[in-house]
């Protein structure tokens, strides 16, 4: 039965969108979305990519795919109601519907898929490895093969570095995969040397690491314990991003892997200037603890990290947003994202405040991502 829904409420008429693109750049150029989510309808979507052993195991054990969030959300699947496919079911699970509603409506030339499937939560590493491979093969066959505008992320399991490295090598030659995907919350910080096989494989393949909102581990999700509500979970996610940035820099990952690049996805960015200031100050007094660092932590951050725009912290005074960008100190740092199909979807014509103009706006909307991901557009 067809569900009676409307297209995305923010979607403009074609003429309005064309006008928007003209205002943005003066010509019809690329619009790159660096954070779109593809979901399975159920674990059954993955069975064509599993061996008989694991098909039997999943069927007999009634195994379900874990998610990447620890708390019930105010909206089912954290999704917009109008992003549910016509036939009903799971938002973000039908490539044709997502293509129509996102790519075609907004004339997006390239969109990067980030499957939010909780493979890192699986404690049975043999099962985790099988499902990791199945998710990536499913992305490849069901999504990347369906439209040339999709790009993929290789989902991995940080608890299985060797298996994850093998998976990166298995798929790294498919140029439609443009990054390796981790979740922000984890059982251990990502700067630990145990993660090195993953970083080595990513560098060999020329792929950046994407660290996305979500995840969980064996520890409380905040530094002060377990919160009660999703609003606390969602707002406090920046703590996890900060922890990963500090770990990656201080534990010398970029010294061991100078070619490694990292993008922070759906983590905001207003917190970055204060983190860089604090880390630089502490480094000046505590540098003997980390003798492998050869420059200020902020220099490693600006050289190796990028961030996506959604969710953008918007101060009441829009001038303050420009000041935050100036404090970060790089026009190459931000890359546009919508977070489709989630409730906090950022429409391209509304998400970037009009105070951001000219070359900086172009960089955010498409140039930075084109360069960072080597998209060749």
What is the side-by-side order of every strand in the sheet holding 110-113? 32-36, 110-113, 150-155, 177-185, 209-215, 262-265, 305-308, 334-335
Please tell me the predicted confidence (pLDDT) of residue 74: 67
Please tell me the predicted confidence (pLDDT) of residue 7: 46
- CA-CA-CA-CA torsion sign (46, 102, 343, 348): positive
Rounded CA separation 203/197 (Å): 10
Q: What topology is assigned to 27-372 in CATH?
A: TIM Barrel (3.20.20)
Number of H helices, E strands in the chain: 15, 8
> pTM of the predicted model, to two decimals?
0.93
Please tell me the predicted confidence (pLDDT) of residue 15: 57
Task: Record the tokens describing residue 104, joined without a space.
Answer: 């075609």
- CA-CA-CA-CA torsion sign (192, 135, 165, 253): negative
- Find where tokens 């100050």 sit: 281
Instruction: Spell out a b/e string for 314-350, using b for 16 or more CB atoms within 10 Å of the CB, else e.
Output: eeeeeeebeebbeebeeeebbbbbbbbbbbebbbbbe
Please tell me the predicted confidence (pLDDT) of residue 339: 96
Q: List, run by run, the mean pLDDT of 10-residue segments along the chain (377 residues).
A: 42 56 55 97 96 96 86 76 89 96 96 95 96 98 98 98 98 98 95 98 98 88 88 91 98 98 97 98 97 98 97 91 94 96 90 91 96 91
Please tell me the predicted confidence (pLDDT) of residue 16: 56
Cα–Cα distances in angstroms (integers) from residue 278 to residues 249, 273, 296, in the given order: 13, 9, 11
The C-alpha torsion from 108 through 172 and 259 to 361, rounded to 10°, is: 0
Task: Record the tokens describing residue 183, joined without a space.
Answer: 């979740």
The DSSP output letter for 212 is E
Quick one: residue 374, left, alpha or beta (phi over 0 = left, psi -120 to 50 = alpha)?
Answer: left
Q: What phi, psi does 135 have (nearest 5°)? A: -60, -45
Please tell me the predicted confidence (pLDDT) of residue 377: 77
Rounded CA separation 334/357 (Å): 14
Q: Which of 292, 365, 293, 303 is nearest to 330 (CA)?
A: 303
Domain ranges of the chain: 27-372
- Find where tokens 């064996």 sit: 218
Rounded CA separation 363/245 (Å): 23
First to last CA, the chain: 40
Q: Which residues are within 8 A (CB) of 176 and not within 5 positions of it... i.e. 6 or more apart? A: 140, 144, 150, 151, 152
Helix (H, G, I), strand (E, B) or coil at 112: strand
Residues 339, 304 contacting (CB under 8 angstroms) = no
- CA-CA-CA-CA torsion sign (182, 325, 236, 349): negative
Rounded CA separation 68/35 (Å): 15
Residues 72, 230 contacting (CB under 8 angstroms) = yes
Please tell me the predicted confidence (pLDDT) of residue 5: 39
Residues 37, 374 contacting (CB under 8 angstroms) = no
Helix (H, G, I), strand (E, B) or coil at 266: coil
């Amino acid at each position: 039965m067809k569900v009676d829904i409307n297209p995305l409420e923010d979607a403009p008429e074609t003429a309005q969108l064309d006008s928007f693109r003209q205002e943005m750049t003066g010509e019809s150029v690329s619009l790159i979305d660096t954070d779109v989510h593809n979901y399975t309808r159920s674990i059954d979507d993955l069975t064509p990519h599993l061996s008989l052993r694991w098909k039997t195991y999943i069927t007999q054990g009634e195994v379900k795919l874990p998610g990447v969030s620890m708390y019930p959300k105010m909206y089912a699947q954290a999704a917009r109601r109008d992003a549910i496919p016509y036939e009903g079911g799971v938002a973000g699970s039908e490539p044709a519907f997502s293509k129509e509603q996102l790519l075609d409506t907004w004339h997006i030339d390239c969109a990067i898929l980030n499957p939010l499937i909780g493979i890192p939560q699986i404690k049975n590493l043999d099962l985790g490895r099988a499902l990791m491979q199945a998710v990536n093969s499913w992305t490849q066959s069901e999504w990347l093969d369906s439209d040339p505008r999709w790009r993929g992320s290789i989902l991995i399991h940080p608890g299985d570095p060797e298996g994850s490295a093998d998976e990166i090598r298995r798929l790294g030659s498919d140029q439609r995969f443009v990054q390796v995907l981790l979740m922000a919350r984890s059982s251990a910080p990502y700067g630990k040397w145990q993660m090195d096989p993953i970083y080595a494989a990513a560098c060999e393949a020329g792929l950046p690491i994407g660290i996305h909102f979500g995840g969980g581990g064996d520890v409380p999700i905040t530094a002060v314990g377990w919160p009660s509500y999703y609003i606390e979970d969602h707002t406090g996610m920046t703590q996890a991003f900060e922890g990963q940035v500090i770990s990656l820099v201080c534990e010398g990952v970029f010294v061991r892997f100078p070619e490694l690049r990292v993008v922070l996805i759906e983590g905001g960015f207003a917190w970055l200037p204060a983190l860089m200031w604090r880390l630089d100050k502490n480094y000046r007094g505590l540098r003997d603890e980390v003798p492998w660092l050869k420059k200020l932590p902020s220099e490693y951050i600006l050289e190796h990290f990028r961030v996506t725009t959604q969710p953008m912290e918007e101060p009441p005074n829009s001038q303050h947003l420009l000041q935050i960008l100036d404090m970060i100190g790089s026009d190459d740092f931000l890359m546009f994202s919508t977070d489709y199909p989630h409730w906090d979807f950022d429409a391209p014509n509304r998400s970037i405040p009009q105070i951001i103009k000219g070359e900086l706006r172009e960089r955010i909307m498409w140039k930075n991502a084109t360069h960072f991901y080597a998209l060749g557009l």
